[in-house]
């Protein structure tokens, strides 16, 4: 094939430019250490670089968050360890105080040390990390625990019941904190405060009751109406001399089954007079005295169950002669005692599968309604007093712990009081409560220990993942420096040869391409 000088020159020029491009690329790879710096260098590897860099950025964010959480968890774990140690000492002091060899002066000295532990525990419960109070739930900008002698157990909780959460790399949200009240102020049984017997409302006697909603380890809601007084639908009439009224009462709890009868009537008795006669007979009956009474309500008989009765009653009545009292058909009446309230709530709870499974229980202690359960939950109670002044003592938002919970400050507060009153029985009872507080706080420490361990494992996994992705990124973008140096040498040699060829060509090609 015949080769013309023009085609030979063109080939030489292309060889020079190709060698120069290879020199430039090899020089860049050697100086930067990168093989791919722009998509056109290698579209497939460029896409891999984008993906890998995004993964590395996400790993960096997770690591930063987890490192911060790990530091906080270590602080909290240390605080709870201090709390457990302080409570261990309190348990020893409780056992020491229960010893009968101690006199009042000895127990006062022990009480002073326990009070010091109480205040030290309050300081621990107000621990701060990174400018936030770690035991305040989401209200972390103020001390969650405030010593207040007027408050129950001498302390007030200003935080809330919120748990802080962190989303782990597998997109799994997990709690990384416990609110302070769950650690230090959760009673295993909630005892109502401030229950008041209702003032019997006037007609139309709207039902008194309350509603309770549950959140936490059990979800649900119940509401109850409490039976009030019975009011006759008509006023007494037709009384004649010699008539007698007989009423039989049966207590709902089976504790009372009694009958009363009035003396022979004069024939002029109205509701007020009949109520007086019936009340006289009630007072004379040991089973009924102080539990029931009749009143005149707008000319009709009303049967009231006293708060002290602790149970409702059903009744039947009969009248001799032509007398109509308005209560002949019988009926039932209830009060608003703690026992009746607890019984009504229990009846409602057993109809709710979630509450039954959690063994939510209502009972009575010292005239107050109590709430107990096998699980941890928060409940909100609202009284429906209907203008009666009734209060269940449960109103508001309260927390109830499960089987292993404890009111830590409450246990210490009760121990201090028992020691200072030299009450041996109360001190002995406090020993178990303080030990339960030790166990409860230890369980809280176990939660933080497990959470800390999970954070550390995740951080270790992220470090390994970071290394893997860094290696992958290197494969996508890094140059083989030794190969690049060889490429540079080869390209330089090729360029020199092409230039030498160009120098021999006529007319001088170098002049044309200079």
Provide the percentage of residues in the chain whose pLDDT is more than 90: 46
Degrees (nearest 5) of the Cα angle 230, 234, 237? 125
**Structure confidence by residue, pLDDT tens digits, 197-247:** 766 555 556 778 999 999 988 999 999 999 889 999 899 999 999 999 999
Lowest mean pLDDT among 79-83, 135-139, 404-408, 477-481: 477-481
**Per-residue pLDDT at 269:** 92
Q: Residue 422: which residues within 8 A CB-CB, separation 6 or more?
A: 103, 104, 107
Angle among Cα 126, 185, 143 to the nearest 5 degrees reads 20
The answer to which of 245-249, 385-389, 413-417 has the lowest mean pLDDT is 385-389
Q: What CA–CA distance (Å, rounded) separates 346 from 500?
A: 105
Tell me the C-alpha distance between 494 and 487, whole Å.
Answer: 10
Taking the C-alpha atoms of residue 107 and residue 111, their distance in angstroms, rounded to an integer, is 6
Lowest-confidence segment of 49-63, 152-166, 228-242, 374-388 by average pLDDT: 49-63
Whole-number pLDDT of residue 354: 94
Give the helix/strand (H/E) hosting 294: strand 292-297
Please tell me which residue, 453 or 31, carries the higher pLDDT value. Answer: 453
pLDDT band at residue 480 under the 50/70/90 scheme: very low
Tens of pLDDT, residue by residue over 486-507, are 555 665 665 566 566 666 665 5
Q: How far apart are CA 190 and CA 406, in angstroms?
A: 11
Cα Rg for the chain, rounded, in angstroms? 43
- End-to-end Cα spacing for the chain: 30
Question: 117-144 in b/e burial notation, b at 16+ Cβ within 10 A?
Answer: bbebbbebbbbebeeebbbbbebbeebb
The candidate with the shortest Cα–Cα distance to 363, out of 317, 332, 394, is 394
Render pLDDT for 262-308 as a digit per residue (tens, 0 to 9): 999 999 999 999 999 999 999 999 999 999 999 999 899 999 999 88
Q: What is the DSSP letter of 387?
A: T
pLDDT higher than 80, residue 6: no
Q: Model pTM?
A: 0.62
Distance CA 67, CA 195 (A): 49
DSSP secondary structure of 204-264: T-PPEEEEEEEEESS-EEEEEEE---EE-SS--B---TT--EEEEEEETTSS-EEEEEPPP
Does residue 494 or residue 170 have the better pLDDT? Answer: 170
Kindly report which listed range (21-25, 132-136, 188-192) carries the lowest average pLDDT score.
Answer: 21-25
Of the listed ranges 19-28, 96-105, 167-176, the one predicted with least confidence: 19-28
Closest among 333, 309, 303, 306 to 227, alpha carbons compared? 333
7, 468 Cβ separation under 8 angstroms: no
Average the pLDDT over 426-452 and give the result.
89
What average pLDDT does the chain have?
A: 83
Range with lowest mean pLDDT among 180-189, 285-294, 325-334: 180-189
The reported pLDDT for the residue numbered 113 is 96
Closest CA to 196 of 307, 306, 304: 307
How many whole angstroms separate alpha carbon 99 and alpha carbon 93? 10
List the structure tokens of 325.
Answer: 């009292």
* Range with the largest mean pLDDT of 31-35, 43-47, 466-470, 474-478: 466-470
The token duo for 113 is 């040390």
- Residue 53: pLDDT band with limits 50, 70, 90: low
pLDDT at residue 350 in the model: 95
Q: Which of 396, 329, 342 is nearest to 368 (CA)?
A: 342
pLDDT at 486: 57
Least reliable range by pLDDT among 257-261, 264-268, 468-472, 480-484: 480-484
Contact between 260 and 283 (Cβ < 8 Å): no
Peptide bond into 204 cis (omega under 30): yes
Structure tokens that stand for 230 in this block: 């019975």
449 is written with which tokens?
């220990």
180: Cβ contacts below 8 Å, ≥ 6 apart: 125, 135, 136, 137, 144, 145, 157, 159
- pLDDT confidence of residue 500: 63
Nearest residue to 178 (alpha-carbon basis) of 409, 404, 376, 456: 376
Q: Look at residue 162 in the predicted model and tell me its pLDDT.
A: 80
Phi, psi for residue 326 in degrees, rounded to 5: 95, -5
pLDDT digits (tens, 9 = 90+) for 128-157: 988 889 999 888 899 999 998 888 788 999
Q: Indicate the range of 32-41, 135-144, 352-361, 394-403 predicted with least confidence.
A: 32-41
Nearest to 306 by CA among 281, 289, 285: 289
Please tell me the distance from the alpha carbon of residue 381 to that of residue 394, in angstroms, as a whole number. 6
| Lowest model confidence (mean pLDDT) among 39-48, 106-115, 134-143, 329-338 | 39-48
Question: Distance (Å, rounded) from C-alpha 492 to C-alpha 219?
Answer: 78
pLDDT of residue 15: 61
Residue 481 pLDDT grade (very low, low, confident, very high; cuts 50, 70, 90): very low
Handedness of CA 422, 428, 434, 438 (dihedral sign): positive
Lowest mean pLDDT among 56-60, 389-393, 408-412, 422-426: 56-60
């Amino acid at each position: 094939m015949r080769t013309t000088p023009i085609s030979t020159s063109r080939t030489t020029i292309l060889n020079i430019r190709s060698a120069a491009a290879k020199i430039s690329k090899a020089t860049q790879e050697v100086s930067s250490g990168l093989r791919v710096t722009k998509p056109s260098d290698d579209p497939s590897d460029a896409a891999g670089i984008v993906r890998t860099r995004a993964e590395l950025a996400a790993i960096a964010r997770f690591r930063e968050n987890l490192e911060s959480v790990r530091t906080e968890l270590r602080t909290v774990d240390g605080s709870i360890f201090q709390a457990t140690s302080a409570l261990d000492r309190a348990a020893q002091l409780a056992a020491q105080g229960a010893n009968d060899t101690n006199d009042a002066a000895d127990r006062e000295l022990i009480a002073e040390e326990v009070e010091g532990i109480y205040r030290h525990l309050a300081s621990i419960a107000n621990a701060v990390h990174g400018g936030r109070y770690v035991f305040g739930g989401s209200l972390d900008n103020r001390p969650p625990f405030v010593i207040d002698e007027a408050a129950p157990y001498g302390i007030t909780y200003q935080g809330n019941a919120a748990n802080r959460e962190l989303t782990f790399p597998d997109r799994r949200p997990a709690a990384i904190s416990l609110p302070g009240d769950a650690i230090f102020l959760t009673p295993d049984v909630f005892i109502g405060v401030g229950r008041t017997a209702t003032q019997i409302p006037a007609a139309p006697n709207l039902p008194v009751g309350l509603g309770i909603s549950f959140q936490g380890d059990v979800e649900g809601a119940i509401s109850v109406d409490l039976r009030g007084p019975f009011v006759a639908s008509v006023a007494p009439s037709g009384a004649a001399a010699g008539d007698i009224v007989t009423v039989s009462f049966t207590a709902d709890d089976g504790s009372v089954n009694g009958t009363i009868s009035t003396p022979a009537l004069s024939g002029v008795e109205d509701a007020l007079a009949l109520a007086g006669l019936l009340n006289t007979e009630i007072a004379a009956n040991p089973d009924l005295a102080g539990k029931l009474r009749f009143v005149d309500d707008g000319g009709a008989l009303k049967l009231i169950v006293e708060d002290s009765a602790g149970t409702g009653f059903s009744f039947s009545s009969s009248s001799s002669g032509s007398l109509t009292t308005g209560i002949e058909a019988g009926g039932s009446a209830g009060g608003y005692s703690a026992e009746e309230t607890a019984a009504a709530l229990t009846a409602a709870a057993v109809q709710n599968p979630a509450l039954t499974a959690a063994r939510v229980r209502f009972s009575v202690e010292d005239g107050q309604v109590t709430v107990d359960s096998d699980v941890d939950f928060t409940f909100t109670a609202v009284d429906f007093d209907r203008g009666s002044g009734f209060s269940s003592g449960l109103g508001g938002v309260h927390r109830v712990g499960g089987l292993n919970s404890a009111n830590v400050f409450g246990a210490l507060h009760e121990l201090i009081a028992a020691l200072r009153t030299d009450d041996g029985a109360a001190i002995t009872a406090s020993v178990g409560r303080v030990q339960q507080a030790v166990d409860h706080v230890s369980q809280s420490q176990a939660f933080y220990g497990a959470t800390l361990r999970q954070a550390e494992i995740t951080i270790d996994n992220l470090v390994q993942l970071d290394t893997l992705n860094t290696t992958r990124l290197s494969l996508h973008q890094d140059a083989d420096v030794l190969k690049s140096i060889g490429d540079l040498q080869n390209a330089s040699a090729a360029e020199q040869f092409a230039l030498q060829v160009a120098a021999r060509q006529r007319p001088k090609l170098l002049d044309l391409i200079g």
